[in-house]
Structures are given as structure tokens and as C-alpha cells.
Amino acid sequence: MASRLWGACSLILLVSLASLISLGNGGVAGAAVCTCPFGGQYYSQIYTFRDGWLFHMCIVTFDSTGYYGYPAVCGTTTATTTSATSTTTTTTSYPPRLATVISRTVLGAEFSGLKVRVDEYRYYYTPFSLPLQGMHTFTAPGTATVNGLTYSFLRWEDQRGGVLSTQTSIVTFPAGKTYYAVYEPPSYTLTLYVKNARTGKAVAGASVYLDSTLAGTTNSRGVVVIKKVPAGWHYLGVTKYSGYLPYWATVYISASTFTVHLTPL
């Protein structure tokens, strides 16, 4: 029994013995057909002071400190109606209510492999879904590596994009909900150099556009400084209408300096 329980560690839930008030056994007519694939006794409901009512639980065993259990696997609900001439059986499927955690950047790009802690001792890699009930804690790491860059944790969001918390840990009742751990890329004070493609000399008076917005004009040294530029892909434009072809390109910014070479006419 112990080995089967530990094999299901991704589903294990510890319910405090002191907080357990009542257990309602399952098996009533028309109730969800639930099983305990990792052993234990199925109960349709448990009431705890900490979490309130928990439904469809498998209680495996208990000791002096707590009950050990996990959410039951519930597939269908079956109801039978009998008349004088016939018997009708209706079966309705009830999928488990899953809590889903997804990691993404502040720009909306999802990425995988973020190691998230659930409660105190369990870890999962995004994206993941768990059949959780009651109150649980999700803890995201402070940083994440995305495309070789170190991103910083920004906030937790719900499925509608609402901000839930700016702390790495969030305590919630997650059943049936989706949570996003959102990260922001590093940002730079970007020093952009504009040079003549043939001579290598600085080009003064060139207009610089970042993501279609005018960011500045190069000085006598051919330099413009742009603050708080997030790492990643950007649409960069440099124009000098007197004697140079315009430069427009999608570029990847991953450092604090960037050089553009304008081709003279």
C-alpha cells in the first residue's frame, strides 16, 4: 500500500487530522461513479476547518498527525428510471475539475519547463494540470530562462488576464481554474550606433525608430540612447534622407549596444 501511495505522489493531499470533522461515504444512487486507483476508501465529501467541503476524496490511511488521501477519479453519473413497462438508464460524463498552470512572458508568448512548487514539497513543470480540491499554494521561481535570457517573475494572472498577485506565491482554491505565471524580459539602456557602411564613419542627424515609434536622432558621434528597451525582437528603422538608403529590419536585442550601417547612395 505504501509503495502505491508514493507512486501517486503527484496527487497526494494531506488533510489535518485535527481539522477533519465528518466523512460522507459515496455510493448513493445517481452519484458520481468514482474510483481510487491508488488504494484507499472513497468518500463523497469531507469537511475541514481549513478548506471547507472537499468532494470525491480517497482516504488511504491516517496516523497521529493526519489523514493521507488524494482526489478520486470520477468518470460518470448513472441514474436508472423504472416504469411499469421499461427500465431506462441514463449515463452522463463528468470530467474532473482540473487546476492548470501555464507560464508565459509579459508579451503573451507561452513557454514550457518552468518548475512550480505546489504546496510544500511537490514540484511540476509547466504546463501542467492537476485534479486539486480545497486550498493550495502555487510558488513560482523568481527567474526563468527563456531563449537563453534570464526573465524575472512579474505576476500571477487568471485566465482573463486579471492580476492575482505580484508575489511569487499565491494561495487559492484552484479547482477548475487556469493560472498564468507571467515573466518579463531584462531591459537595457540601449546605445545605438549609426555608421556609414562604406567608410565606417559616424552618421549624425539620422532618425531612429523602435517598433514604429521615433526614439531619437543621432548626435555628432552617430549615437542615440534609448532607455528601457526589453530584450527580444523589435522592429528597428534608421533613416537619413540626404544621401543614404533607409534601414528597416526586425532585430533581436540581447545586449546594451547595437550598430546599424547605412548604405550611402
Residue in the structure block whose three cell numbers are 514604429: 212
Look at residue 201 and tell me whether its pLDDT is greater than 70: yes
CATH of domain 187-262: 2.60.40.1120
Is 50 exceeded by the pLDDT of residue 29? no
CATH architecture for segment(s) 99-184: Sandwich (2.60)
Helix (H) or strand (E) holding 187: strand 187-196
φ, ψ at 17 (rounded to 5°): -60, -40
Contact indicator for 100, 110 with CB cutoff of 8 Å:
no
pLDDT tens-digit series, residues 140-180: 999 999 888 899 999 999 999 999 999 999 998 888 899 99
Whether the domain at 99-184 and the domain at 187-262 fall into the same CATH topology: yes
Query: Residues 224, 259: contact at Cβ < 8 Å?
Result: no
What are the backbone dihedrals phi and psi of residue 96, each rounded to the nearest 5 degrees, phi first?
-65, 150
Tens of pLDDT, residue by residue over 220-265, are 999 999 998 988 889 999 999 889 999 999 998 888 999 999 999 9
Q: How many CB atoms lie within 10 A of CB 127?
A: 18
pLDDT at 33: 72
Q: Kindly list the domain boundaries of the chain, sorted by start residue.
A: 2-93, 99-184, 187-262
Buried b (16+ CB within 10 A) or exposed e, 45-55: ebebeebeebb
